[in-house]
């Protein structure tokens, strides 16, 4: 997704709303894919049912930790790798989901900063002109 640059105007509310929806959908898809991978791994390596696999995958993905202690070597390796993946996935999913809101906030901040600088430059120019008139 390409956002406006700081020299451009702030995007309209409709564009911002569309970006929020798109990033929310992308984040949701990432969560669903991550859950599906976790569920498939627990079902395959630990021979858990789909509900138990879902609970374990969801608990690890959310950072709470597994409910089921893996018994097989493959299950232990999968659980460890899935936990490492989940730690990074949560960061990426949060970044993708909240990117439009963070970008808009920072963009607005930069716009205000530039406006403040322009006002300060105008005031400085006016003050210099007044000083020059006083000297004459």
CATH code of the domain covering residue 104: 1.10.287
Decide if 78 is inside a domain: yes
Pick the residue with more confidence: 3 or 83? 83
Are the C-beta atoms of 29 and 89 separated by less than 8 Å?
A: no
119 Cβ partners below 8 Å, 6+ apart? Answer: none
- Copy the structure tokens of residue 86: 């989940």
Is-above-0.75 flag for pTM? no
Residue for token pair 């993905």: 61
User: Is 83 a domain residue?
Assistant: yes
Helices (runs of H) and strands (runs of E) counted in the chain: 3, 0
Q: Is residue 33 part of a domain?
A: yes
Percent of the chain with pLDDT over 90: 51
Residue 97 · residue 24 · CB < 8 Å: yes
Mean pLDDT of 51-70: 91
Give residue 75's domain range: 13-135
Residue 47 dihedral angles phi and psi, to the nearest 5°: 55, 40
* Terminal CA-CA length for the chain: 57
Which residues contact residue 87 at a Cβ distance below 8 angstroms, ignoring those fewer than 6 apart? 63
């Amino acid at each position: 997704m390409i956002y406006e640059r700081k020299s451009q105007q702030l995007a309209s509310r409709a564009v911002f709303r569309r970006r929020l929806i798109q990033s929310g959908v992308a984040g949701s898809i990432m969560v669903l894919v991550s859950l599906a991978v976790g569920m498939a791994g627990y079902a395959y390596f630990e021979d858990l049912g789909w509900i138990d696999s879902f609970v374990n995958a969801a608990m690890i993905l959310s950072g709470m930790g597994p409910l089921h202690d893996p018994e097989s070597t493959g299950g232990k390796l999968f659980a460890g790798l899935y936990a490492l993946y989940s730690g990074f996935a949560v960061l990426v999913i949060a970044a993708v989901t909240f990117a439009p809101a963070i970008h808009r906030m920072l963009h607005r901040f930069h716009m205000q900063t530039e406006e403040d600088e322009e006002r300060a430059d105008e005031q400085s120019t006016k003050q210099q002109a007044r000083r020059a008139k006083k000297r004459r």
